[in-house]
Amino acid sequence: MPPTAPSPMLVFQTLQAHQHTSALRAGIELKLFSAIAAGARTPEALAPICNASPKGLRVLADFLTTTGFLTKDAAGYALTPDSQLFLVESSPAYMGGMANFLFHPFMEEGLRSVTGAVVKGGTTLPAEGSVSDDNPVWVDFAKGMAPIMYPAAGAIAELTAGSGPLKVLDIAAGHGLFGVTIAQKNPAAHIHALDWKNVLAVAHQNAARAGVADRWHAIEGSAFTADPGADFDLVLVTNFIHHFDVPTNVALFQRLRATMKPGATLAILEMAVNDDRISPPGPALFAMTMLTSTAHGDAYSRAEIASMCTAAGLHSPTHHTVPNTDQTITLAVN
């Protein structure tokens, strides 16, 4: 409801927007969507399944109806196409696990002090914020965030997998989905995935599930210090450089160049902002997540990403939008 004349509604609604997050989180935690999918449609029918009170479920389900996650008629509540696909536990596209990452106490703590982060110019969390060594938040990330990365993983594989032997380095692999998808597409590809040990366990599971574990190799450690080997045809740096400042990323790219064959490709996945830094909305708002959870991270524009590549000695950067997302793939050549 954008107001035409000055109206207090935008201020008032924004001051209460956190309720939307809390309510969806409660729906996920109480498995409300799965219960409705199983056929319970009224607060009274849902109460024993969700182990909650009929009144509380009525208020929660009305809230989630008002905000577009459910529908309601005389027979009770029903799922929307979105909630059917993304919020029912048995769905392969279930996003409920994301809540474990987004609401990790560590992430929540960072968000609670936006004012402090603005004052400081970076996270008020200890040390390097979310990117500290072995932070268990990345296990939750690896487990929870994979569902929204399928389109990007497919797009990167489409651009880079090719058909012959391909030695791939997957930096900060997380859930491992990007490398795994390339291995699925190209039976001659070998993936070397680098991440902290606890995170690699999640990626390894995903590689095994995808049937590519025999061509998937783990390298434990930090992207900044581990020795990943050499002669790579393709290096993946996905959802990573936004955690760091420009000089750190240039140094990283230089380090990665040393592992690449001549003519090899560096593939970067980012939520790239436009040059105005206020569009598209997703990447523009994402800069705040980086401010509150990292010491020096940011949302970068395509021009800035290209410039980091060329500063590191890579050339011919090209940008590719992942269809139906706010994500940009940048390819640069060694």
| Closer residue to a copy of itself (CB): 195 or 298 | 298
Q: Does 90 bind a copy of itself (CB under 8 A)?
A: no
Residue (206 or 289) nearer to a copy of itself, CB: 289
Q: CA 332 → CA 31, 160, 225, 264, distances in Å?
A: 44, 11, 22, 8
For the CB of residue 88, give the shortest distance to a copy of itself in the complex, in Å.
12
- Residues 80 and 110: their CA atoms lie apart, in Å, by 32
Of residues 264 through 323, those in contact with a copy of itself by CB under 8 A are 276-279, 281-282, 284-285, 287-292, 298
| 93/291 Cα distance (integer angstroms) | 29
Please state the closest distance from residue 237 (CB atom) to a copy of itself, in A. Answer: 22
Minimal distance in Å, beta carbon 226 to a copy of itself? 29
Which of positions 92-121 make contact with a copy of itself (CB under 8 A)?
93, 95, 98-99, 102-103, 111-112, 114-115, 117-121
Q: Please report whether residue 128 would count as binding a copy of itself according to CB under 8 A.
A: no
Pairing of strands 166-171, 232-238: parallel
Site for a copy of itself in 57-76 (CB under 8 A): 57-60, 62-63, 65-69, 72
Using CB under 8 A as the binding rule, the residues of this chain from 197 to 226 that contact a copy of itself are none
Provide, rounded to whole angstroms, the least separation between the CB of residue 72 and a copy of itself: 6
Our finding on whether 246 is near a copy of itself (CB under 8 A) is no
DSSP 299: P
Helix axes 18-29, 54-66, angle to 10 degrees: 130
Sign of CA dihedral 244, 248, 249, 252: negative
Does 247 help bind a copy of itself (rule: CB under 8 A)? no
The only residue of 44, 48, 53, 261 in contact with a copy of itself, by rule CB under 8 A: 53
When asked if residue 89 is in the footprint of a copy of itself (CB under 8 A), the reply is no
At its nearest, how many Å lie between a copy of itself and the CB of residue 195?
Answer: 23
How many residues bind a copy of itself (CB under 8 A)? The answer is 85
Indicate the DSSP class of residue 93. T
Helix axes 281-293, 105-112, angle to 10 degrees: 100
How far apart are the C-alpha atoms of 300 and 242, rounded to whole Å? 7
| Site track for a copy of itself across 6-45, x = CB under 8 A | xxxxxxx-xxxxxxxxxxxxx--xx---------------
Q: Which of the stretches 85-93, 183-191, 196-204, 221-229 binds a copy of itself when contact is defined by CB under 8 A?
A: 85-93
Q: Which is nearer to a copy of itself, 103 or 196 (CB)?
A: 103
Going by the DSSP 8-state scheme, the letter that residue 301 receives in this structure is B
Q: How far is the CB of 30 from a copy of itself (least distance, A)?
A: 6
Nearest by Cα to 174 from 88, 94, 237, 265: 237
Residue 264 backbone dihedrals phi, psi, to 5 degrees = -70, 165
Tokens 């020795």 belong to residue = 227
Q: Scanning residues 134 to 193, which ones bind a copy of itself (CB under 8 A)?
A: 147-148
| Smallest distance from a copy of itself to CB 268, Å | 21
193-220 burial, b for 16+ CB within 10 Å, e for fewer?
bbbbeebbebbbebbeebebbebbbbbe
The H or E element containing residue 220 is: strand 216-220
254 binds a copy of itself (CB under 8 A): no
Helices 197-209 & 177-185 angle (0-180, nearest 10): 30
